[in-house]
Structure 1
Amino acid sequence: MITALFTGIAAALWMRAALRYGAIAIAVLLFLFALRRSGERAGRLAERLETSEKTIGVQRQMLDAAARRPRDRNDLADRLRDGRF
């Protein structure tokens, strides 16, 4: 029954053209939605990369500061006397 109805609808030339253009329109819309979603995902990944680069930079500064710290009280006193602190 459904196949007979579909063959009756698809038999009309204008209906086949309408179905074809409708399918093309739906395919284009789905493609645009997928493109939008992948763009949003790329934006989130870029933001995550930027944040991690900032974090790594801060950690590197902390490690550099820790490497330059005085080893003991005598070293601290020497630096204070010499004005290198």
Structure 2
Amino acid sequence: MITSILGGIAVNPWARAALRYGAIALAILLFLLSIRRSGERVGRLAERLETREKSNDIQRRMLEAAARRPRNRDDLVDRLRDGRF
């Protein structure tokens, strides 16, 4: 039964053209949807990278501040007297 339906469609030139253009339109639609999906994925990855860079920058600044901290109370008192704190 299916072969008789497809055989009838294959004989009619208008039906063949409609099938051809339908298949082309479907392929283009699927291609565009895949591009959209990959674009969304790239956007999420870019946002994740930006967040990671911000957190790394904050952590680096914290480590630099910790490296400059006074070692003991005497150093703290000296820095407060000199006004370098």
Q: How does the TM-score come out when normalised to structure 1?
A: 0.96
Matches within 5 A, 1:21-40: 21-40=21-40
Unaligned runs of 5+ in 1: none
Unaligned runs of 5+ in 2: none
Runs of 4+ in structure 1 displaced over 4 angstroms? none
The residue type paired with residue 19 of structure 1 is: L
**1 CA distance for matches of 2:50 and 2:12?**
57
Q: Could you tell me how far 1:83 is from its partner in structure 2?
A: 1.1
**2 CA distance for matches of 1:21 and 1:63?**
63
Q: Could you tell me how far 1:11 is from its partner in structure 2?
A: 1.0
**1 CA distance for matches of 2:5 and 2:83?**
95
Cα root mean square deviation, aligned:
0.7
The match for 1:74 is 74
The match for 2:10 is 10
Q: Could you tell me how far 1:84 is from its partner in structure 2?
A: 1.0
Matches within 5 A, 1:54-69: 54-69=54-69
Partner of 1:71: helix, strand, or coil?
coil
The residue type paired with residue 68 of structure 1 is: R
Give the aligned length. Answer: 85
Identity of aligned residues (%): 72
Partner of 2:45: helix, strand, or coil?
helix
The residue type paired with residue 62 of structure 1 is: M
